[in-house]
Structure 1
């Protein structure tokens, strides 16, 4: 049953990649892999984000593994970007098993950088002044190239959440940051504890005690 479902997803991924061309990356994450660090079981046009077969997970994968009983809804047509600044139009589709839990993730990342440049050029020719003020949009999220970049991104998000540089963080600040990292699945990444402990200038013993504090609260 699972094999046929996976083969069907591969067929769909291949069709989408052929339909939309080289700028469209389509990949399948297997959420039941023994290691979260090689969740990609199928990929087309991996050059778009620089990933390959057997590559590392996305934030969406960590979310599902960390919260297996969560209610996950498809995320369609949102903006992301690569580490070198190219803008992607992305969709994340959760493929569920017979129990209603996510089993695979089908991801689509379409590079629209050149289209945006073309749109901007056309707009400069056709636009007229308008008195209204544009509403600022949220910056696209970066798609990490590997697990190290994903961990770095999560660490930076934890610092932004606290709003204080590490050098000025109190014990409570660090506990809050560690709680965020634990809830986002950062510690599912191999040897993440060493890196997080070093970054926050605490021992691994202290790190694990902070994690346990968050579990008890």
Structure 2
């Protein structure tokens, strides 16, 4: 994004944060940054997730950078996320687009509903009624840096396969590597060596698995 766009969305983020108070974090990501690990160009109430300007991206940011012009990206509204200290947030992600419709930035809102959720649970326990479990599943984690994000993506790839890396066969490793590629894990600096070490493979084997996963996707 250019300086004028960053200025406008920074002021918009400030206005939203002032409107809804200190529990409302508003983040502006620049998807055109050369280093996706430093995508945050403006943030209000960063204490909610512990992030600052220049901090690392979320899963949504990596997916957006990975997708580029190849896929249509939709805004995501009112979904649950969680911080590394266990607080629950109600989040919305809106893509900022250029004249061609290509995502160039993200406006993200994260509202801390931990106390509200606790109050709802207390009322439910006292009255015997309350909302059903969240149908969307577990909240997505919000990480503070790219190292934590890569670790989380690796854990998700292992969970997808359903067995430890040491017990995976070739087909299962390809599936895990394909998931990491699809989620943008290899956009993270020095991710390749870490993935190779985790799965016990060489860099040449990694490239081979990536080619195999790409061929499978195309077919």
Q: TM-score range by the shorter chain?
A: over 0.9
Alignment-derived partner of residue 100 in structure 2? 99
| Distance verdict in 2 for CA 1:114–1:80, change over 3 Å | same
* 1:21-32 superposed matches below 5 A: 21-32=21-32
| Distance verdict in 2 for CA 1:40–1:163, change over 3 Å | same
Measure, in 1, the Cα distance between the counterparts of 2:160 and 2:76. 23
Q: CA deviation at 1:135?
A: 5.4
| 1:91 counterpart SS class | strand
| 1:157 counterpart SS class | helix
Q: CA RMSD in A?
A: 1.8
Q: CA deviation at 1:6?
A: 2.1
Scaled by the length of structure 1, what TM-score is found? 0.93
Measure, in 2, the Cα distance between the counterparts of 1:102 and 1:134. 35
Scaled by the length of structure 2, what TM-score is found? 0.92
| 1:57 counterpart SS class | coil
Measure, in 1, the Cα distance between the counterparts of 2:79 and 2:132. 19
Alignment-derived partner of residue 68 in structure 1? 68
Measure, in 2, the Cα distance between the counterparts of 1:120 and 1:206. 49
| 1:110 counterpart SS class | strand
| 1:27 counterpart SS class | strand
Alignment-derived partner of residue 160 in structure 1? 159
Measure, in 2, the Cα distance between the counterparts of 1:77 and 1:149. 24
Alignment-derived partner of residue 190 in structure 2? 191
Question: Where does structure 2 lack aligned partners over 5 or more consecutive residues?
Answer: none
Q: CA deviation at 1:36?
A: 0.6
Alignment-derived partner of residue 40 in structure 1? 40
Question: Where does structure 1 lack aligned partners over 5 or more consecutive residues?
Answer: none
Give the count of matched residue pairs.
Answer: 214
| Distance verdict in 2 for CA 1:99–1:136, change over 3 Å | closer
